[in-house]
Amino acid sequence: MFQPPRCPNRRCRQHHRPEPRFFRRRGFYRALCRPHPIPRFLCRTCGRGFSRQTFRMDYRDHRPDLNARLFQSIASGVGLRQSSRNLRLSLRCTELKFRKIARHLRRLNLNLRGPLPEGSSLHFDEFETYEARRNTRPLSVPVLIESATRFVIWAESAPIRPHGRMSEARKRAIQEDERRYGRRKDLSSRSVERTLRRGAELTERLPAVELYTDEKTSYPAIARRVFCGKPIVHWRTNSKQARTIQNPLFPINHTEAMARDLLGRLRRRSWLASKKRRYLDLGLALWASWRNYVRRRFNKDEQSPAQRLGFVDRRMSEVQLLSWRQDWGKRSVHPLAWRGESVEAWEQR
Ligand SMILES: [Zn+2]
């Protein structure tokens, strides 16, 4: 039987620190989208009623049956407009669904991970894309992965200053942009630091950190600051070296190539683009969880990257990833749980 993990009422003390048996069962109801009846509950403290559905990711969604298909579609290089045509949803509804799914997956990705096992190493790189207008609003995207399993630890975007060849028309466009939005800031080193910190959270138990990057001069100082006090074995490779399988940066180059292919808005010479970088960040979160939990590491493998690191014990489907809400950290219900067991409890099993 499903046990509700907490009272959904934020002002109730059973919301933050639920006691055992804080609820009473109160029958069932039938929903069109579920084959089984859904149990109802009543909080003994605040008297608020709720049901098992309150703890689902698709709580209050219209067309919850399309969530997994939309997730799959966006993680397959299809844009939002084309997805909305295929699924016969309005564009607005598709956008809102995409944001809700991606925010959920970002939390899920953080909840399910744990310390990296011994022998793990990190690959880090930045690639460039843009928001809204290619020649005036470039972005840098730092990506951090675990090398052997290709587990995507973090990826986000940061604005950078326009650079490269300046034609007269481009200079005019940049001036016009600066008049409207102010001088474009370069926030990339802050973003690099934040991304590496996500790696530092997972490498606390390792005796030393092995890090592969290119030769950008700012990386060694940022790495020392982030992995404070820990010995770092930092392998640096010239980025002009041919991008073959022998290149020490192959794992990260390969991951970036896959992201560019499967996240349509990152493709070169494409109609798809991000209008705002916060939605690109959501796209990256969605793609990372598909990469980490749904896809096999390589085509010949049976296991997903997260499975190889021991974070989950099986490869998961899009439907499983979009099951329980993940807004309560490690105390959220584990995506594979039936009775409402938390991610914490599942890990100790
Ligand atoms: Zn309550």
Lookup: tokens for 196: 């590496």
Checking if the pLDDT of 111 tops 80, the result is yes
- Closest C-alpha among 70, 75, 109, 73 to residue 258: 75
Q: How many residues does the chain have?
A: 349
Give the Å distance between the CA of 9 and the centre of ligand 1: 5
Checking phi first, is residue 210 left (phi over 0); if not, alpha (psi -120 to 50) or beta?
A: beta
Beta strands (DSSP E) in the chain are 23-29, 38-43, 49-51, 122-130, 138-146, 152-155, 158-159, 209-214, 232-237
Give the Å distance between the CA of 51 and the centre of ligand 1: 13
Give the Å distance between the CA of 109 and the centre of ligand 1: 28
Q: Amino acid identity of 348? A: Q
Checking if the pLDDT of 302 tops 80, the result is yes
Question: pLDDT, tens digit, for every residue of 57-75?
Answer: 999 999 999 999 999 999 9
Give the Å distance between the CA of 338 and the centre of ligand 1: 22
Q: What is the dihedral of CA 232, 191, 113, 343, to 10 degrees?
A: 140
The pLDDT-based confidence of 298 (bands split at 50, 70, 90) is very high
Give the Å distance between the CA of 20 and the centre of ligand 1: 13
Question: pLDDT, tens digit, for every residue of 71-94?
Answer: 999 999 999 999 999 999 999 999
Mean pLDDT, residues 108-115:
97
Lookup: tokens for 212: 């592969």
Mean pLDDT, residues 260-289:
94
Which H or E run contains 167? none
Alpha-carbon distance of 230 to 224, in angstroms, equals 8
Mean pLDDT, residues 252-279:
93
Identify the pLDDT of residue 95. 97
Identify the pLDDT of residue 238. 96
Q: 127: helix, coil or strand?
A: strand
Give the Å distance between the CA of 158 and the centre of ligand 1: 41
Give the Å distance between the CA of 7 and the centre of ligand 1: 5
Give the Å distance between the CA of 96 and the centre of ligand 1: 29
Give the Å distance between the CA of 247 and the centre of ligand 1: 57
The pLDDT-based confidence of 205 (bands split at 50, 70, 90) is very high
Give the Å distance between the CA of 36 and the centre of ligand 1: 25
Mean pLDDT is lowest, of 29-38, 100-109, 218-227, 306-315, for 29-38
Give the Å distance between the CA of 40 and the centre of ligand 1: 14
The pLDDT-based confidence of 1 (bands split at 50, 70, 90) is confident
Give the Å distance between the CA of 26 and the centre of ligand 1: 14
Give the Å distance between the CA of 248 and the centre of ligand 1: 55
Give the Å distance between the CA of 6 and the centre of ligand 1: 8
Mean pLDDT, residues 163-172:
95
Give the Å distance between the CA of 153 and the centre of ligand 1: 36
Identify the pLDDT of residue 34. 82
Average per-residue pLDDT for the chain: 96
Checking if the pLDDT of 33 tops 80, the result is no
Give the Å distance between the CA of 339 and the centre of ligand 1: 20
Output b/e per residue, 39-64; b: 16+ Cβ within 10 A.
bbbebeeeebebbbbbbbbbeebeeb
Q: How many CA atoms lie within 13 A of 200 on its CB side?
A: 17
Identify the pLDDT of residue 32. 81
The pLDDT-based confidence of 53 (bands split at 50, 70, 90) is very high
Give the Å distance between the CA of 42 and the centre of ligand 1: 8
Identify the pLDDT of residue 242. 94
Checking if the pLDDT of 189 tops 80, the result is yes
Give the Å distance between the CA of 330 and the centre of ligand 1: 21
- Closest C-alpha among 228, 196, 198 to residue 211: 196
